[in-house]
Amino acid sequence: MGKIGIGFVGAGWMGAVELRRFAERDDVEVRALLEPNAERAAEALERAGLPADILVDSYEQIVGRDDIDAVCLASPNAFHGRQAISAMEAGKHVFCEKPCATDFGEFCRQIELERANPHLVTFVDYILAFDPMEVRLGRMVAEGRFGTITQIQVNYRHPVNIAGDKVWKLAKDVVGDAIGMGVVHAISAMVALMSSQARPTSVYATSAPAKVRGFDVDPVWNILIRFDNGATGFCFGNIDNGNGYDAYHNLFGTEGAFVFDSGLDRPRKVRYWSAGATDGKWICPLDREQCASEGLADLAWADGATTPDSGDVIDHQTAECVGHFVECVTSATPSPLSFVNSAAVAEIGWAARMSAATSTEVRLPLDWDEAKNFFSP
């Protein structure tokens, strides 16, 4: 096939970087950009090496074009659902920033459209799925390095930027809620890490209103997830205040454990033990000397190994995400992070909202009829 025609929406903090990632590829061509802020659009296009005349002023000028095969959505959260639906109804593939939707009805419609149109490739950008540490840790869990996982904790505590025109992140009707704004990163990582051993079966959650900044939505979340192997997961989420990223991981199994603490400096930021792989000794894989002193030099991670706690979007795995999406479109292969295939992550978010509002545990898979009644206007 020829180059994939891309229509791009949103050139903000994340969008501008993803725009560059699409533009730098030889197998795609960005043919339209929708960005209401003219100054931001001009700067993003210049940095991406794209012509200024691809800027359009309506979404219809993207989904209505025959030469656009796929739409990338980096717009504010509340637009994701309706824009993805319009794109799929127009026969376009969809790359969607998280969350996939802030309206439950729109989420359901996305799932229905994908099932009815299996030739369309969809993708929700749960970017931690491409982080090298997450990939490595998921493989270690699948290989049984830690035995059967019984407890797991993944945090997402990071004060999101609301400066200047990013103030929209305070508004409920635009941001949706704090889960979709960032806490879902922790949920997606936990589900991925557990996927080789267990599936989530229920959610119990509590939330709290803003204490520091003026969020319309509750920015503080505590989410407990039960799995069908008896394991329990826990997520602390907070986008209101903090001191940089807290992407803390704590994983405990019958034969080992793993801790990642983004608050610590290298080389002690990551440590783990395994009854088999490390002879039960705690090692710090970023500390080559310590691994060597324990006779485990082969378990040291490569110099420069990254960890998922950078606050700079330039350091995120945007190229890997874009490459994955393009490969799925080119090969006509569904993404593991399509609307349908990542629905378990989204359902935990919906269940957490229901649980926090009712002070009850919510079973998974989610009862869609019950959820539709709960979320109906």
Amino acid 313: pLDDT: 67
Amino acid 377: pLDDT: 78
**Type of residue found at 285:** P
Amino acid 140: pLDDT: 98
Maximum distance among all Cα pairs of the chain, rounded to whole angstroms: 63
Length of the chain counted residue by residue: 377
What is the architecture, at CATH level 2, of domain 4-127+314-339?
3-Layer(aba) Sandwich (3.40)
Amino acid 105: pLDDT: 97
End-to-end CA distance of the chain: give it in Å, rounded. 44
Amino acid 137: pLDDT: 98
Full-model pTM: 0.96
Amino acid 1: pLDDT: 61
Give residue limits of the domains in the chain: 4-127+314-339, 129-198+209-311
pLDDT mean for each 10 residues of the chain (377 residues): 93 95 98 97 98 98 98 97 98 98 98 98 97 96 98 95 91 94 96 98 98 96 98 97 92 98 94 97 97 96 88 82 98 98 98 98 97 93
Q: Both tokens of residue 77? A: 């959260």
Amino acid 310: pLDDT: 78
Quote the CA–CA distance of 145 and 276 in Å, as a whole number: 7
**C-alpha closest to that of 4 among 71, 86, 55:** 71
203 burial type by CB count under 10 A (0-12 exposed, 13-18 middle, 19+ buried): buried
Task: Return the residue matching tokens 């290298």.
Answer: 266
Residue pair 187/348 in contact (Cβ under 8 Å)? The answer is: yes
Any idea which fold 129-198+209-311 has? Dihydrodipicolinate Reductase; domain 2 (3.30.360)
Amino acid 89: pLDDT: 98
Amino acid 304: pLDDT: 83
